[in-house]
Amino acid sequence: MLASDFGGAALLVQLAEAGRLSARLLKYPQIEPKLLAAVDDPLRKRITALTSRVPDESQNLIELIASRRQDHSSGPGDRELGTKLFARACATCHQIAGLGKKVGPNLDGIGNRGLDRLVEDILAPNRNVDVAFRTSTIVTDQGRVLNGLIKRTEGARMVLVDSKGEEISVATDTINQNVLSNLSPMPANFGETLSEEQFRHLIAYLLSLRSS
Protein backbone atom coordinates (compact mmCIF):
# COMPACT_ATOMS: atom_id res chain seq x y z
CA MET A 1 0.00 0.00 0.00
CA LEU A 2 1.36 3.45 -0.92
CA ALA A 3 0.82 4.91 2.55
CA SER A 4 3.10 2.32 4.14
CA ASP A 5 6.44 3.93 3.23
CA PHE A 6 7.82 7.43 2.72
CA GLY A 7 8.03 7.23 -1.06
CA GLY A 8 4.47 6.01 -1.42
CA ALA A 9 3.19 8.57 1.08
CA ALA A 10 4.93 11.37 -0.80
CA LEU A 11 3.33 10.19 -4.04
CA LEU A 12 -0.15 10.22 -2.46
CA VAL A 13 0.41 13.78 -1.24
CA GLN A 14 1.65 14.89 -4.66
CA LEU A 15 -1.41 13.39 -6.35
CA ALA A 16 -3.73 15.09 -3.86
CA GLU A 17 -1.99 18.44 -4.31
CA ALA A 18 -2.32 18.07 -8.08
CA GLY A 19 -6.02 17.32 -7.74
CA ARG A 20 -5.65 13.82 -9.17
CA LEU A 21 -7.14 12.18 -6.08
CA SER A 22 -9.38 13.44 -3.31
CA ALA A 23 -7.67 14.78 -0.19
CA ARG A 24 -10.41 12.99 1.74
CA LEU A 25 -8.57 9.74 0.94
CA LEU A 26 -5.74 10.89 3.21
CA LYS A 27 -8.18 11.00 6.15
CA TYR A 28 -9.57 7.49 5.75
CA PRO A 29 -9.18 5.62 9.09
CA GLN A 30 -7.30 2.78 7.39
CA ILE A 31 -4.84 5.18 5.72
CA GLU A 32 -4.24 8.22 7.93
CA PRO A 33 -2.38 6.47 10.84
CA LYS A 34 0.01 4.68 8.47
CA LEU A 35 0.50 7.81 6.38
CA LEU A 36 1.42 10.00 9.36
CA ALA A 37 3.76 7.35 10.75
CA ALA A 38 5.65 7.09 7.47
CA VAL A 39 6.39 10.77 6.80
CA ASP A 40 8.75 13.46 8.07
CA ASP A 41 7.73 16.86 9.46
CA PRO A 42 7.73 18.80 6.15
CA LEU A 43 5.51 16.20 4.47
CA ARG A 44 3.29 16.01 7.55
CA LYS A 45 2.70 19.77 7.26
CA ARG A 46 1.68 19.36 3.62
CA ILE A 47 -0.77 16.62 4.63
CA THR A 48 -2.23 18.86 7.33
CA ALA A 49 -2.65 21.68 4.80
CA LEU A 50 -4.53 19.34 2.47
CA THR A 51 -6.77 17.64 5.03
CA SER A 52 -7.63 20.80 6.97
CA ARG A 53 -9.73 21.84 3.97
CA VAL A 54 -11.68 18.57 3.94
CA PRO A 55 -15.11 19.03 5.56
CA ASP A 56 -16.16 16.84 8.49
CA GLU A 57 -17.48 13.57 7.10
CA SER A 58 -19.57 12.64 10.14
CA GLN A 59 -22.75 14.34 8.92
CA ASN A 60 -22.34 12.76 5.50
CA LEU A 61 -21.98 9.37 7.16
CA ILE A 62 -25.09 9.90 9.29
CA GLU A 63 -27.06 10.81 6.19
CA LEU A 64 -25.69 7.82 4.25
CA ILE A 65 -26.69 5.39 7.02
CA ALA A 66 -30.21 6.86 7.11
CA SER A 67 -30.42 6.66 3.32
CA ARG A 68 -29.36 3.00 3.18
CA ARG A 69 -31.90 2.07 5.87
CA GLN A 70 -34.61 3.76 3.85
CA ASP A 71 -33.47 2.06 0.65
CA HIS A 72 -33.96 -1.35 2.26
CA SER A 73 -37.37 -0.44 3.69
CA SER A 74 -38.61 0.79 0.33
CA GLY A 75 -37.34 -2.21 -1.63
CA PRO A 76 -35.49 -5.18 -0.08
CA GLY A 77 -32.74 -6.73 -2.17
CA ASP A 78 -32.17 -10.18 -3.61
CA ARG A 79 -30.78 -12.69 -1.10
CA GLU A 80 -29.10 -14.85 -3.73
CA LEU A 81 -27.29 -11.90 -5.25
CA GLY A 82 -26.30 -10.85 -1.76
CA THR A 83 -24.80 -14.29 -1.13
CA LYS A 84 -22.56 -13.91 -4.18
CA LEU A 85 -21.63 -10.38 -3.17
CA PHE A 86 -20.65 -11.54 0.31
CA ALA A 87 -18.40 -14.23 -1.15
CA ARG A 88 -16.65 -11.63 -3.28
CA ALA A 89 -16.43 -8.66 -0.91
CA CYS A 90 -16.58 -10.05 2.64
CA ALA A 91 -15.47 -13.68 2.80
CA THR A 92 -11.80 -12.65 2.63
CA CYS A 93 -12.14 -11.71 6.31
CA HIS A 94 -15.42 -13.16 7.62
CA GLN A 95 -16.73 -16.69 7.88
CA ILE A 96 -20.32 -17.96 7.64
CA ALA A 97 -21.22 -21.63 8.03
CA GLY A 98 -17.55 -22.59 7.81
CA LEU A 99 -16.96 -20.72 4.53
CA GLY A 100 -14.60 -17.76 4.40
CA LYS A 101 -11.60 -16.65 6.45
CA LYS A 102 -11.37 -16.17 10.21
CA VAL A 103 -9.86 -12.69 10.24
CA GLY A 104 -12.83 -10.73 11.55
CA PRO A 105 -15.72 -11.95 13.70
CA ASN A 106 -17.68 -15.05 12.67
CA LEU A 107 -21.01 -13.92 11.18
CA ASP A 108 -23.22 -16.95 11.80
CA GLY A 109 -26.57 -15.63 13.04
CA ILE A 110 -25.70 -12.03 12.26
CA GLY A 111 -29.23 -11.38 11.04
CA ASN A 112 -30.31 -11.25 14.68
CA ARG A 113 -28.67 -7.84 14.93
CA GLY A 114 -31.43 -6.33 12.81
CA LEU A 115 -31.39 -3.80 10.00
CA ASP A 116 -30.22 -0.73 11.92
CA ARG A 117 -27.19 -2.38 13.49
CA LEU A 118 -26.16 -4.15 10.27
CA VAL A 119 -26.24 -0.96 8.23
CA GLU A 120 -24.16 0.82 10.87
CA ASP A 121 -21.67 -2.04 11.19
CA ILE A 122 -21.03 -2.05 7.45
CA LEU A 123 -20.89 1.69 6.81
CA ALA A 124 -19.31 2.78 10.11
CA PRO A 125 -17.19 -0.20 11.23
CA ASN A 126 -15.16 1.91 13.66
CA ARG A 127 -18.12 2.76 15.88
CA ASN A 128 -18.40 -0.60 17.63
CA VAL A 129 -15.06 -2.39 17.61
CA ASP A 130 -14.55 -5.44 19.78
CA VAL A 131 -11.23 -5.14 21.61
CA ALA A 132 -10.19 -8.49 20.13
CA PHE A 133 -10.48 -7.07 16.61
CA ARG A 134 -8.71 -3.73 16.94
CA THR A 135 -5.86 -3.09 14.56
CA SER A 136 -2.24 -2.42 15.45
CA THR A 137 0.10 -0.06 13.62
CA ILE A 138 3.68 -1.32 13.55
CA VAL A 139 6.69 0.74 12.47
CA THR A 140 9.93 -1.15 11.77
CA ASP A 141 13.49 0.11 12.06
CA GLN A 142 13.52 0.35 8.25
CA GLY A 143 10.60 2.80 8.32
CA ARG A 144 8.11 0.23 7.08
CA VAL A 145 4.57 0.83 8.40
CA LEU A 146 2.22 -2.14 8.79
CA ASN A 147 -1.41 -2.12 9.84
CA GLY A 148 -3.57 -5.09 10.78
CA LEU A 149 -4.68 -7.57 13.41
CA ILE A 150 -1.94 -9.31 15.35
CA LYS A 151 -2.87 -12.98 14.99
CA ARG A 152 0.07 -14.82 16.49
CA THR A 153 3.79 -14.89 17.22
CA GLU A 154 5.92 -17.58 15.61
CA GLY A 155 9.33 -17.71 17.26
CA ALA A 156 11.04 -14.43 16.46
CA ARG A 157 8.34 -13.26 14.04
CA MET A 158 4.97 -11.59 14.50
CA VAL A 159 2.14 -12.33 12.07
CA LEU A 160 -0.49 -9.72 11.21
CA VAL A 161 -3.53 -10.01 8.97
CA ASP A 162 -4.41 -6.97 6.85
CA SER A 163 -7.81 -5.72 5.65
CA LYS A 164 -7.60 -8.03 2.60
CA GLY A 165 -7.20 -11.10 4.80
CA GLU A 166 -3.54 -11.50 3.81
CA GLU A 167 -0.91 -12.45 6.37
CA ILE A 168 2.15 -10.24 6.91
CA SER A 169 5.14 -11.58 8.83
CA VAL A 170 7.65 -9.25 10.49
CA ALA A 171 10.71 -9.97 12.63
CA THR A 172 10.01 -8.88 16.20
CA ASP A 173 13.52 -7.49 16.69
CA THR A 174 12.92 -5.00 13.84
CA ILE A 175 9.80 -3.45 15.45
CA ASN A 176 10.34 0.10 16.72
CA GLN A 177 6.70 0.91 17.52
CA ASN A 178 3.61 -1.20 18.08
CA VAL A 179 0.52 0.94 18.72
CA LEU A 180 -2.93 -0.55 19.35
CA SER A 181 -5.65 1.40 17.57
CA ASN A 182 -9.35 1.83 18.30
CA LEU A 183 -10.04 1.15 14.63
CA SER A 184 -11.45 -1.89 12.92
CA PRO A 185 -9.43 -3.50 10.10
CA MET A 186 -12.64 -3.53 8.08
CA PRO A 187 -12.61 -0.97 5.24
CA ALA A 188 -14.71 2.10 6.05
CA ASN A 189 -15.59 2.89 2.42
CA PHE A 190 -18.31 0.35 1.59
CA GLY A 191 -20.68 3.28 1.16
CA GLU A 192 -18.58 4.20 -1.87
CA THR A 193 -17.56 0.82 -3.22
CA LEU A 194 -21.04 -0.74 -3.08
CA SER A 195 -23.88 0.74 -5.10
CA GLU A 196 -27.30 1.25 -3.49
CA GLU A 197 -28.54 -1.86 -5.28
CA GLN A 198 -25.59 -3.99 -4.19
CA PHE A 199 -25.97 -2.80 -0.62
CA ARG A 200 -29.66 -3.85 -0.60
CA HIS A 201 -28.69 -7.31 -1.86
CA LEU A 202 -25.99 -7.72 0.79
CA ILE A 203 -28.31 -6.61 3.60
CA ALA A 204 -31.03 -9.00 2.38
CA TYR A 205 -28.58 -11.89 2.66
CA LEU A 206 -27.20 -10.92 6.06
CA LEU A 207 -30.67 -10.38 7.53
CA SER A 208 -31.59 -13.92 6.47
CA LEU A 209 -28.83 -15.36 8.69
CA ARG A 210 -30.70 -15.75 11.95
CA SER A 211 -30.16 -18.17 14.81
CA SER A 212 -32.69 -19.32 17.36
Kindly report each contact of residues 57-64 with a partner whose C-beta sits within 8 Å and lies 24 or more positions away, as own/partner. 57/24, 57/27, 61/123, 61/124, 61/191, 64/123, 64/191
Q: Structure pTM?
A: 0.66
Q: Which domains does the chain have, with CATH numbers?
A: 2-51 (no CATH), 58-128+188-207 (1.10.760), 135-180 (2.30.30.100)
pLDDT in tens, the chain (212 residues): 556 677 888 888 888 887 666 677 787 776 787 788 878 888 888 888 888 766 666 778 888 999 999 988 888 899 999 999 999 999 988 999 998 988 888 999 999 999 999 999 999 888 777 778 888 888 888 888 888 889 899 999 999 988 777 889 999 999 988 888 777 878 888 988 999 999 999 999 999 999 86
